[in-house]
Structures are given as C-alpha cells and as structure tokens.
Chains A and B, each alone.
Chain A
Amino acid sequence: MFFTVLSIELSKIFSKGRSYIGFGAITILVPIVQAAMYSEGEAYFSLFTQGLQQQFSFTGTFLNGYLIAFVVLQSLLVHVPLLVTLVAGDMLAGEATGGTYRLLFTRPVSRHTVVLAKYSAALLYTIGLIAWMSLLSMGMSLLIFGSGELFIVSSSITVLQKDDILWRFGYAYLFGILSMSTVASIAFMFSALVENSIGPIAMTMAIIIVFTIISALDAGFIKDVKYLLFTNHLISWRLFFEETVPVDRILLSTWVLGGHSIASLFVSLFVITKKDILS
C-alpha cells in the first residue's frame, strides 16, 4: 500500500503549479549565471584574482564548466531551501487547508503509511530538484565552457586537477540532497503541526535565518552547542572541495543533518497519528 500512496502523492505534487516554481526558478537562474559568466567571466575572474596575480603567475584559463558549476552550487543552494519548503511545507498542511484529510484518513490505509509516503514523496521531489540543478549547472556548463582545473579561493587557495574533480561534485550533490532533505523534513514537520500552507514555509525560513544568526555568534554556551544546529552543516558540501577531504567533519555534518531529518519525521508521525481531524 505504501507504494500506491507514494505514487498518488507524487502525482498530486506534479499536478500542482507550485511544484514547478522550483524547477522553473532553477531553469531560469542557471542559464542567466552561465550567460553572465560567458560574457563577463574573464573580467570577473581577473578582478577577483587581482591581488593574487601580483604574487602568482596564472597561465591558461580557470573559467571552465567546473568553476561555473561550483559558482552555481554556491549561489543556488542558498535559495533552494525556499523552493524545497514550498512543496514539503504543503504536504500535510495542504490537506488540512483543503479539508482533504477527511478523504485521506477515512480510507483503509494507516496514518503511518500516509505520513511515510508523503515524506518520501517530499524527499523524491527534493532529489529531483537537486538533480535538475546538477544537470543544468554541471552538464550545461561543461558543454558551454568545457572542463579544466578548479580554482577555489576560500580561507586558502585550492587548485584541483581536472581528473580529481568529478567525484567531488558527485559527493557534493549527494550532500546537497542531504542538506535540502533536512530542510524538507523540518518543513514537513511544521506542515504536520499547523493547518495552513504558508505557516510551514515561513517557520522553516525563520528557523534557518535565526539558526544562521546564532551560528555566527561566538559567545558563551552558544559556542559549545552551535555545531548541533543544522544550519551550520547545510554548506558542508564545500568540504568535498578541500585538497584533503575532512571525512570526520563530513561525518559529523551527516549525523547532525540526518538526526534532524529523522527527528522531524518522528515528530510528524507522532503528531499526525494522535491528531484529531477537525478541519
């Protein structure tokens, strides 16, 4: 029965206009970034590396498909949480708003099955969104700009060799799925708690903003516990682009994000199975 409900939930997701906002936004934004980089990329790269060029000699071009994919990943993952919550936050709250809990929960299907199927559908949507983003940002960028070495400036300068990059992107996208699944899980949990679709979106975004601000504080007890905040780990995909990948830090991020996701799912299951359907 789980797979029947899952297929129903997926068909419902893709029958709603709002589900295409995320795909539409990515489809519009990625080519814009690519076009901008195509026309202004060289000048932008020179400006960005102006200081470095006095100390290092640059030969060839670093403006390639990998760099564009990296830039897109960096910029888009900041906005993807909003796109994910649009759907995940509506999964249960949408039923309450539309009064269709009454249709769903008067069928010979357990509430556990319905919640798990809806949760899985939200995760599949998230995976689809990241996959679409990776296809457009990586695939298209490699087609337009070709491949090459990846030049990354953060706290240090990292230059990754051409044949040492693809697997890093693969893991980075997988980690991106984990990060966004956590955001989807939290939106899903709020969706179980409230009876309107806007609430979960607003609450999830508010939590991301508040936790991000708390993460930036170094005072008192916050310093000791901030590694537990999921927002601290959302961009851990960047760790895959360090010269030596810090496996222990990635594992910690995976545990924290996974823990948040599982906890959110359990809260959703508990709330929905105990809930009196009054809508």
Chain B
Amino acid sequence: MDRNSIIEIRSLCKSFGQFKAVYNLDLTVNKGDIYGFLGPNGAGKSTTIRMLMSLITPTSGSISVFGKPLTTHRNHILAGIGAIVEKPDFYLYLTAEENLRILGKLNSIDLSSKQIHRSLDQVGLLDRANSKVKTFSYGMKQRLGIAQALLHDPELIVLDEPTNGLDPVGVKEIRELILKLRTEQQKTIFLSSHILPEVELIANRMVIINKGTAVIEGSVSELLNSGMLTVNFSIDDAEKAKTVLKESQFASSVLGFSADSNVHIKLSKERIAECTSFLVDHGIGIDGISSTRSLEEYFLSITRS
C-alpha cells in the first residue's frame, strides 16, 4: 500500500442476489485529495460508501483505510472518518445540540456546549441549536449532517451528495467549506456526487463509476483538459464539408453530421483554430462554433442511459 494513500479499494464487489451493485471496483484516494466519486443514480456510489463505512459487508474484495484493512481495524478506522451517508437522518425527537452531543459521545468525545455551538455555527445552524430536528427542513438537516461529520475533527471526510436539498447559496457555502477543510486543515475528502460540474469545481482527482464499475479515474484537470473536446461547427454546406473533410487530416476525427447542418469533430483545444481555418479555406461558411468536453458528453450519455 502506498504510504500516501488514505483509501485503497481493490476488486470490490457487492451483489444483492443476482444483481451486481458494485463489481470489481478499484480506486485509490491519496492524503489531501478532494476525491470526486461520480456516477449517475444507481451506479453503486452509495453501496460503495456503505461498504467503506462498514454498513454493508462486501461480497469480495478489500478496503483499506489509513493503511489498515477495514475488516480487522473497523473501530480505529471509523474513529478517523466523518461521514454523511445518503440522507441526513437524525433523531427527530432530539434537538440539534442533543443529536450532536450523542454522536460526539459515540466517538468518545464529551463535547462542551461551546464546541457544539461552534460546529453548528460553521454550518449556519447556531440559532437552531435548541430546536428539535423534526422542525428542520431537508437543507437544514443536510447542514447538520455536515456538522456531525466534522464534529470529531476526522482525518477523512466522506460526503455522499452533500449539496442535495440545499439552495444555491447553501451549495456555494458547502463548496467553500469543503475547499477550506482541505486547504486550511489538510483534510482528505471523498465526495460522492452525480453532478459533474460540482465535482469539477472542487475535486482534484475523480473516478466515474457506472453499473458498479470504475470507467475513468484520474486527476480532474487531466480528465477535463486532456484534449477531449467535441466541437460542433454550424456550417452552410454540409455536403461540401463531408467531401472536403473525408480527404483531410481531420477525417478520423469526424464524429458525424446532424440534420441541422452541424458537423461534430473530436479535437484538442489547440486544433480548433486549425480546423476552422481549414473549413473556411475550402469555401465552407461557418455560422457558429460550440464545444462540449468529451468527458461531459460521456458522463451525460451514462446518465441518460
């Protein structure tokens, strides 16, 4: 195991009857990473997180956290993790402060009211410290979920869709909080989401999983800027463009033509200008150019399917 890695998942599988929720999943999260765990709904994100948090027993494979196998060092590992697993559920009949106090005790920390209030203040819930959680909106529970995840100052923070149910201001605040946790406190954050732009904005590394298997893993900047762009040229003469492009250096990059006189070409960022000049030089008028990253296209195709 790499000394720098915080989470190492190898050949992880989980089946429910015949259904394979997670299949042969491998991933490595390094110390200080904000690791985006991306996938459409039902891809196996929450099942993986439940296995990571020892809520579900894997069918096969291994999970190591902080360099130790989860199966044999469960309590030691969980003491170092703060997590939101799926929905932010709490004891509704208790107040926010009582909930946090109980959860602190379960982490062997006897928190003072001051410490609890500081945690609540961090997520903007200080004025509701003594309100019963049953009076909270979903967004407020989500904030409380983040407060409980940070309560015992864990080394690793696992956040499963942490911005679900939050308004745009709340989303921005949580995003800033996550970035702050990494930059100021050197926390490692494992962030699950089904929203690519959310991960793109804060993660430095990510994996996309689909049908329980990792399909792409790497650094976010590499994945997003590795020349994988689908460029759409809106042209005036599709037939002429077909002929011209067929004989050109761009022939193998042409993805297709659409009925509305658009040609889709897979290009690196640097070659967009070159391709534009080529079309213009061959007498093809261009009305507009737009591009989408192939990763986004790819992710959207997964999500749509």
Contact = CB atoms under 8 A, between A and B. Distances in A.
Interface of A: 1, 4-5, 8, 11-12, 15-17, 98-110, 274, 276-278
B108 A108 contact: yes
Given A106-B54, A276-B55, 15 more contacts: A1-B108, A4-B108, A12-B94, A12-B102, A16-B93, A100-B89, A101-B55, A103-B89, A106-B53, A108-B75, A108-B79, A108-B108, A109-B106, A110-B75, A274-B57
Q: Which of B56, B75, B106, B148 has the most CB of A within 10 A?
A: B106
A10 to B, nearest CB: 12
B78 interface: yes
Contacts of A278: 50, 56
B56 A276 contact: yes
B80 to A, nearest CB: 9
Nearest to A17: B93
A99 B87 contact: yes
Contact of B55 (A16, A17, A106, A110): A106
Contacts of B75: 108-110
Interface of B: 50, 53-57, 74-76, 78-79, 81, 83, 85-87, 89-94, 98, 102-103, 105-108, 148
Contacts of A107: 78, 103, 106-107
A6 to B, nearest CB: 11
26 contacts: A1-B108, A4-B105, A8-B102, A12-B91, A12-B94, A15-B93, A16-B93, A100-B91, A101-B55, A102-B53, A102-B89, A103-B89, A105-B53, A106-B54, A106-B55, A106-B78, A106-B81, A106-B85, A107-B106, A108-B74, A108-B76, A108-B79, A110-B74, A276-B57, A277-B50, A277-B55
A105 B54 contact: yes
A103 B86 CA distance: 11
B57 A104 contact: no
Contacts of A100: 89-91
A106 B83 contact: yes
Given A98-B91, A98-B92, A105 B103 contact: no
A104 B108 CA distance: 13
A17 B103 CA distance: 21
A108 B105 contact: no
A5 B81 CA distance: 19
Q: Which 5 A-B pairs have the closest CB atoms?
A: A99-B89, A107-B106, A277-B55, A108-B79, A108-B75
Contacts of A277: 50, 55-56
A200 to B, nearest CB: 19
B172 to A, nearest CB: 26
Contacts of A8: 102, 105-106
